[in-house]
Amino acid sequence: MSDVEPRTAPALEVRDLARTYGSGATAVQALRGITFRIDQGSMVCIMGKSGSGKSTLLRQLGLLDSPTSGEVLLEGVEVTRLRESRRRLLRLERLGYVFQEYALLPELLAEENVYLPALMSGGSLRACRDRARQLLAMLDLGNRAGHRPSELSGGEQQRVAIARAMMNDPAILFADEPTGNLDSASSEMVMKALARMNSELGVTILFVSHDLDHRQYARGVIHLRDGALTASES
């Protein structure tokens, strides 16, 4: 991505994006020609009812699935037609992910879960451990670094997942219903943790939510209905 000047290219640009599952009479149009752009450093919420296409859209943007048609540009570079090996490298080095179910490895300590992506990118163990501990401390989990997921609350596990997503200093962090399994108090802590990553580390964040209270954390909102963009607020 070094050929793109980061101050002039949006973090993410979507052009006429569509995703259809199946074919013929049984085909389902999950996304219908969606177009928008996200500026660098933004924190944007994708909202809509169940089945509106929120998670499908996030999977296309995060290179976890390929659209039927349309384009996704990451920092000015079209990425939907790249080889899977290149897409895999981008997912590891330029994108971060937070899932509803945490997706932590149960046999690893919190700090080990966090620094694993950096080890996979060839970082030294000492540097990776130091970075992981810094991120955990930022998320008020410094005293939980040596605990396994089974010893952590749901909210703590999700904050560990956020630290892991930030480990390789991604350009964009995607969070799919990150508070879906949490009570209101833990949910608030997780949303504040995401907001802190956005404000202090400058990462662009797109998160999916159906909770109207979460709009307060976003500087932009994308509304979906039946796979189509119905409104975009900034």
CB atoms within 10 A of CB 230: 12
pLDDT for the residue numbered 123 = 86
Residue-wise pLDDT for 7-47, tens only, equals 578 999 999 999 999 988 889 999 999 999 999 999 999 99
pLDDT for the residue numbered 11 = 95
Give 1's pLDDT tier (boundaries 50, 70, 90).
very low
CA distance 2 to 45: 28
**What ranges do the domains of the chain cover?**
41-65+84-233
Q: Quick one: residue 16, left, alpha or beta (phi over 0 = left, psi -120 to 50 = alpha)?
A: left
pLDDT for the residue numbered 2 = 44
pLDDT for the residue numbered 173 = 97
Average pLDDT over the chain reads 92
Q: Please give the backbone phi and psi of residue 204, each rounded to the nearest 5 degrees, phi first.
A: -75, 135
Residue-wise pLDDT for 118-162, tens only, equals 988 888 999 999 999 999 999 999 999 999 999 999 999 999 999
Mean local confidence (pLDDT), 193-214: 94
Mean local confidence (pLDDT), 181-195: 94
Give 4's pLDDT tier (boundaries 50, 70, 90).
very low
Mean local confidence (pLDDT), 45-50: 92
Which of 151, 46, 41 is closest to 160 using CA atoms? 151
**CATH number listed for the domain at residues 41-65+84-233:** 3.40.50.300
Mean local confidence (pLDDT), 67-87: 93
